[in-house]
Amino acid sequence: MGIANAGRAVVSARLYGTASAAYGAIGLGTGTTAFAATDTTLETEKKTDGTAASGVHAIASGSVTASSVTTTITNDTAQFVGTATFTASLAVTESGLFNADTNGTLLARQTFSAVNVVSGDSIQFTWKIKNA
């Protein structure tokens, strides 16, 4: 997993109150290119019905539970958990964390081995961003 340059800028600005919305929307897709710090979107973002996402992230921020959890020291990690339920067959290979339900700024992106889903399947995505 990597933190995108654009996401770093938003987090920095949020610390002093001048940035846009908090992070909490989760996107998913079928892209396989490894993360690069210059990423601003997922490679091939999809909706849960298998169609192109067109900037609309699969799990809206209102459906994502955000909290602080402990990794090394008390509450040093922001955690975002959301579930996508599919109405189509897909081989999901990437996910990202955004600060808006539509066309948000990408904070982090990760590719992984294909998780094959069919209509009726669900995947729970958990993003953990640790304060290093």
Q: What pLDDT is stored for residue 15 in this prediction?
A: 67
pLDDT in tens, 43-74: 999 999 999 999 899 999 999 999 999 999 88
Q: What is the 3-state secondary structure (H, E, C) of 52-118?
A: ECCCECCECHHHCEEEEECCCCCCCEEEEEEEEECCCCEEEEEEEEECCCECCCEEEEEEEEEEEEC
Q: What pLDDT is stored for residue 53 in this prediction?
A: 95
> pLDDT grade, residue 79 (50/70/90)?
very high
DSSP 51: S
Q: What pLDDT is stored for residue 12 in this prediction?
A: 74
**Amino acid identity for residue 57 in this structure:** H
In terms of pTM, does the model score above 0.95? no
